[in-house]
Amino acid sequence: MSAGKKFRQALSEETPLQIVGTINAYQALQATKVGYKAIYLSGGGIANASYGLPDLGMTMIEDVCIDIRRITSICDTPVIVDADTGWGHAFNVARTVKEFIRSGAAGLHIEDQVAAKRCGHRPNKELVTTEEMCDRIRAAVDAKMQLDPEFYIIARTDAHASEGQAAAVARAKAYVEAGADAIFAEAVHTLKEYKEFCDQMTVPVLANITEFGATPMFTTEELGSVGIEMVLYPLSAFRAMNKAALTVYQDLREKGTQEGTLELMQTRMELYDMLGYHDYEQKMDALFAQSKAK
């Protein structure tokens, strides 16, 4: 079963489907063991965590593929990947789709901002024309058909903030017509507006419930009641990790001991259990025993 088909299966099994952000392979293992059926690799998370850069379109396709491969090599939970604006014109978008599929991704979302993009919950976003975005989608759909027809293409529109709800819905309809499998309605403010999106779409709609942004912390029950079929939490665990790490660093620097922050830390045995460490160790012992027997 292809990664794309696994994602589609997950979407059919859970409504709304919770898609949780995992910025590295270890987080992907954690999310999988907790029971999530789909995970997410954030472009902002890659820029922030892997390169120490802000989410302003400064990372490139291979930077993303490195992290996709790290996750998919250790975890078979389908991963949806942030493709930003696709890294160029139609041929670049097609290459992005093919490289993501080869790296093991189940799907991606591509947005209608200009190449010099901004975080979706920041002001002064600029968008390409509807026609240019539709070209991106058509290129993505054409490319996936060559490698994995089940690969999931999500069209993200940032129009709500700059052009208004009606324009965002109109754009989304055009993106569906161009072949998008789903719509990512970014920075929507109310359940009523989400319902308007869902009522007018013939494909699933994704709600991005990111912390400290423009969208309130709606529950899955609330979102499901208005027709949302996917709920994304792109960086929740990453933010918690960052806060805990900074607390540990500051406390250790001030007190000269980490004793006061042990309650924030995962124990050695909890780490080993998550990784299956003892299974690896037993395998190594068995191989060494075979070698000595010879």
173-206 confidence digits (pLDDT tens): 999 999 999 999 998 999 999 999 999 999 999 9
Residues 6+ apart with CB under 8 A from 100: 64, 65, 68, 81, 83, 108, 151
Cβ of 285: how many Cβ atoms within 10 Å? 10
* Residue linked to tokens 């009641």: 225
Q: For residue 125, what pLDDT is reported?
A: 66
Q: Judge whether 42 is annotated as a binding position.
A: yes
More confident of the two residues 25 and 282: 25
- Gap between the Cα atoms of 243 and 24, Å rounded: 17
CA distances from 8 to 55, 81, 111, 146, 227 (A): 28, 15, 21, 18, 17
Q: For residue 121, what pLDDT is reported?
A: 52
More confident of the two residues 233 and 118: 233
DSSP state of 108: E
Q: For residue 287, what pLDDT is reported?
A: 80
More confident of the two residues 122 and 253: 253
Q: For residue 285, what pLDDT is reported?
A: 81
* Residue linked to tokens 């991606």: 108
Inter-residue contact 32 to 237 (CB < 8 Å): no
Q: For residue 200, what pLDDT is reported?
A: 95
**pLDDT band (50, 70, 90) for residue 251:** very high
Q: Judge whether 208 is annotated as a binding position.
A: yes
What's the whole-number average pLDDT of the chain?
A: 93
Average pLDDT over residues 246-252: 97
Q: What is the pTM of this model?
A: 0.92
Residue 20 has pLDDT above 60, yes or no: yes
Q: Judge whether 135 is annotated as a binding position.
A: no
- Gap between the Cα atoms of 170 and 166, Å rounded: 6
Q: Judge whether 43 is annotated as a binding position.
A: yes
Q: For residue 124, what pLDDT is reported?
A: 56
Residue 119 has pLDDT above 80, yes or no: no
At 166, list the tokens: 């009606």
Q: Judge whether 84 is annotated as a binding position.
A: yes
Q: For residue 61, what pLDDT is reported?
A: 95
Q: Judge whether 291 is annotated as a binding position.
A: no
At 27, list the tokens: 């987080």
Q: Judge whether 102 is annotated as a binding position.
A: no
Residue 123 has pLDDT above 70, yes or no: no
The neighbouring-strand residues paired with 132 are none
CA distances from 118 to 28, 39, 59 (A): 26, 23, 13
Tens-digit pLDDT profile for residues 72-106: 999 999 999 999 999 988 899 999 999 999 999 99
**pLDDT band (50, 70, 90) for residue 291:** low
Residue 293 host element (H or E): helix 277-293
Q: What percent of the chain has pLDDT over 90?
A: 81
Average pLDDT over residues 54-82: 95
Q: For residue 283, what pLDDT is reported?
A: 84
**pLDDT band (50, 70, 90) for residue 218:** very high
Q: Judge whether 156 is annotated as a binding position.
A: yes
Give the catalytic positions in this structure. Answer: 40, 55, 82, 84, 109, 111, 119, 156, 186, 208
Residue 254: phi and psi, rounded to 5, are -75, -35
Which domains can be identified in the chain, with CATH numbers? Answer: 3-241 (3.20.20.60), 260-293 (no CATH)
Average pLDDT over residues 37-60: 93
- Strand, coil or helix: what is 152? strand
Average pLDDT over residues 25-39: 97
**pLDDT band (50, 70, 90) for residue 292:** low
